[in-house]
Amino acid sequence: MKFDLKLIVQPHENFNGLSYGYWTSIWWNWLFSDQTQYGSVHFLRGNTDKEAPIIRTGKNGPIIYSDTAIFFPIICTITSEHLFEHASTQEIRRMESAVRQKNPLLLSVMINGVRIPNLKRYYAESPEFVLDIPKSSKLRRYFDPLPRIGKRPTVSAGYWIMLRPLPPGTYRIIFKGKHADGYVSYGDYRIRIIDSFKR
């Protein structure tokens, strides 16, 4: 099935009333939670600092309903006192997040063989938000440095893609990003979209 670029929410657009930046704050809290999928948007992710590339193909591929959007980072970062003791003001958090995302070495997204162009346009910064990292978070140990547990003000920056609800069918979504410091995030998903009336 050929992918239609019109199914991408543009960087200046809101989806369900929320900007790209606001959706990133929801995504980060989902990431450190038990990662249950619910609501109108399905979240994907690449690997964190200490993980192998994320590959969900074959029987491991997600099944998503046709009334559900898809949101994922190509590459991203957060700055907060969870990770950096000196990140004590919003100014520091915003500046350092933006600096770490400046001039990525690689941004790549392919959906069913169609390469998404002009990915630097999809840069987004979050509003400042409260990130909750619970003690039960299974993903916390894969970050470097190890994040502190608890709730702290946070700013995120990165390159993100929001896909509108897709027509039923099979979609291969492959994304990869590389920071100047050498960190690489990679995700490879084979997703089956089924009619929402089958809920």
pLDDT tens column, 140-181 = 999 999 999 999 999 999 999 999 999 999 999 999 999 988
Per the omega criterion (within 30 degrees of 0), is the bond before 145 cis? yes
CA distance 35 to 1: 29
The token pair at 176 is: 């990869």
The token pair at 177 is: 């990003």
The dihedrals phi and psi of 165, each to the nearest 5 degrees, come to -50, 130
| Whole-structure pTM value | 0.96
Q: Chain-centre distance of CA 123, in angstroms?
A: 12
In DSSP terms, which residues pair with 123 in a beta bridge? Answer: 159
pLDDT tens column, 20-49 = 999 999 999 999 998 999 899 999 999 999
155: nearest Cα among 107, 104, 71, 96: 96
Range of the domain at 9: 5-198
Decide if pLDDT at 197 tops 90. Answer: no
The total domain count for the chain is 1
- Average pLDDT taken over every residue of the chain: 96
